[in-house]
A and B are shown apart, each in its own frame.
Chain A
Amino acid sequence: DTGVSQNPRHKITKRGQNVTFRCDPISEHNRLYWYRQTLGQGPEFLTYFQNEAQLEKSRLLSDRFSAERPKGSFSTLEIQRTEQGDSAMYLCASTPRVRNTGELFFGEGSRLTVL
């Protein structure tokens, strides 16, 4: 059973560019979460999916951010017109449909640096 996979692991971009991150959850995990973690802070919830349905979005998710999970498997998080304040680690996590204990299984994250 492979873990949660995130790509790319690191992304450096110039302000104003668009970036996209991909997350492949553990197979048969039906819930997928995106969190953002800035230096010295804990993970902050952005959004989550149950299968392909986006069930909740945080107020942190401005209109420059969009997330999709088109077939209920992998997910993408796109940031348009990046700003320096978007520099952070973007974490993806998943949970199983059955025997869900509330535990999140995390990927290693995608670190974004906006110059």
Chain B
Amino acid sequence: AQTVTQSQPEMSVQEAETVTLSCTYDTSESNYYLFWYKQPPSRQMILVIRQEAYKQQNATENRFSVNFQKAAKSFSLKISDSQLGDTAMYFCAFTLSGNTPLVFGKGTRLSVIA
């Protein structure tokens, strides 16, 4: 079974600084999809960024980028120029395909401090 591990329960960062959230996963498959989701307090979960394992290029979405290390099974999220609105729970997730349920990590609570 696939597993996703987020080893940082809580992190904090000063506004405008950069922070990196860690995620590792375990699978014996070679093709899969990885995601970072954001869950603001009392709000619904939304997709931040998505990576396909067969693509070597790291995904980027504005201030959000990933460092995908396939051999190490590592998928970290970098948030640049942190903003107060980035305060949220961040979940790393994995799926083998668009037709199988996502498996989530336990999450990292990020606080952006003014």
Closest to A33 in B: B101
Q: How far is B47's CA from A3's CA once the two chains are assembled, in angstroms?
A: 14
Shortest CB–CB separation between residue A89 and chain B, in angstroms?
10
Interface residues on B, range: 20 to 34
Q: Are A42's CB and B97's CB within 8 A?
A: no
Known: A91-B45, A108-B44, A109-B44. A102 touches B103 (CB 8 A): no
Which B residues, 79 to 105, have Cβ-Cβ distances below 8 Å to chain A? 91, 93, 95, 97-99, 101-105
**B residues touching A (Cβ–Cβ < 8 Å)?**
4, 6, 9, 33, 35, 43-47, 50, 91, 93, 95, 97-99, 101-107
**A residues touching B (Cβ–Cβ < 8 Å)?**
3-4, 31, 33, 40-45, 48, 56, 91, 95, 100-104, 106-109
